[in-house]
Structure 1
Amino acid sequence: MGFHMSSKGINIRDKHILTAYCQRPSGQSRYSELDLNEFIGANKGQLAWGSNNFSKNSRDVNFQLEGPENNPMLHAQLEDGEGNVRESQMNLADCIKNEDGHLSFMECF
């Protein structure tokens, strides 16, 4: 189950800090932050897991819950190394989980 199913108030701060109130098994919620720059980079104009510092070369970074499952989508515009700017998106639930009230990265690639 993705972190977004057990979290509220999910947001992106400073273009790279994921924030949320994550529910614990006890039912209580806890504020948590995760620096996405530690796990997401850019590769030829696309957001990429397993790299880092995506926010350095990105603009218009935003976050939205999308679709019928409210998928937590990160959007950014990135340079592709050839002078072009590309729109990229990534489902954060693919590699981020709520672990006892803390946002945490899980190996996913």
Structure 2
Amino acid sequence: MGFHKSSMDIKLRNGHVLCAYCRRPTGEAIYSELDLNEFLGAKKGKFAWSAENFSSSASDVNLQFEGPTHEPILHAQLCDGNGARHEDRVNLADCIKNEDGHLRFMDCF
């Protein structure tokens, strides 16, 4: 289950830090942060999981909740290494989970 289904007040700080109040099995919600730069990179103008530091080549970074289940989609303009920028998006719920009230990266691809 994606973290967004058991979390509230989900935000992006400084363009790369995911923040949320995540519910624990007890029902209590605690504040958690996850620096996406540690797990998400950019390669040839595309987001890449299990890479690093996407924000160093990104602009216009924003988080939107899309679709009927309000999936957390990260959007950005990413440099392709040749000076061109490409718009890309990634579903954060694919690789981030709420583990006992803490946002955690999980190997997903």
Provide structure 2 residue ranges, at least 5 long, that are not aligned to the other structure.
none
For this pair of structures, how many residues does the alignment match? 109
How far the C-alpha of 1:31 sits from its partner, in A, is 0.3
Runs of 4+ that moved beyond 2 A: none
CA–CA distance in 1 between the matches of 2:70 and 2:85? 27
Provide structure 1 residue ranges, at least 5 long, that are not aligned to the other structure.
none
Q: Which residue of 2 aligns with 1:88?
A: 88
How far the C-alpha of 1:11 sits from its partner, in A, is 0.6
Q: Which residue of 2 aligns with 1:50?
A: 50
CA–CA distance in 2 between the matches of 1:23 and 1:87? 32
Deviations, residues 29-83 of structure 1 (Å, cap 9, x unaligned) = 0000000000000010011101000000100100011110110100110111222
SS state of the match for residue 83, structure 1? coil
Please list, as runs of the form range in 1=range in 2, the aligned pairs for 1:67-78 lying within 5 A after superposition: 67-78=67-78
Percentage of identical aligned residues: 62
CA–CA distance in 1 between the matches of 2:61 and 2:104? 20
How far the C-alpha of 1:84 sits from its partner, in A, is 1.4
Alignment RMSD (CA, Å) = 0.6
Please list, as runs of the form range in 1=range in 2, the aligned pairs for 1:17-28 lying within 5 A after superposition: 17-28=17-28
CA–CA distance in 2 between the matches of 1:58 and 1:80? 10
TM-score, normalization: structure 2?
0.98
TM-score, normalization: structure 1?
0.98
CA–CA distance in 2 between the matches of 1:88 and 1:9? 24
Please list, as runs of the form range in 1=range in 2, the aligned pairs for 1:89-104 lying within 5 A after superposition: 89-104=89-104
Q: Which residue of 1 aligns with 2:37?
A: 37
CA–CA distance in 2 between the matches of 1:64 and 1:30? 22
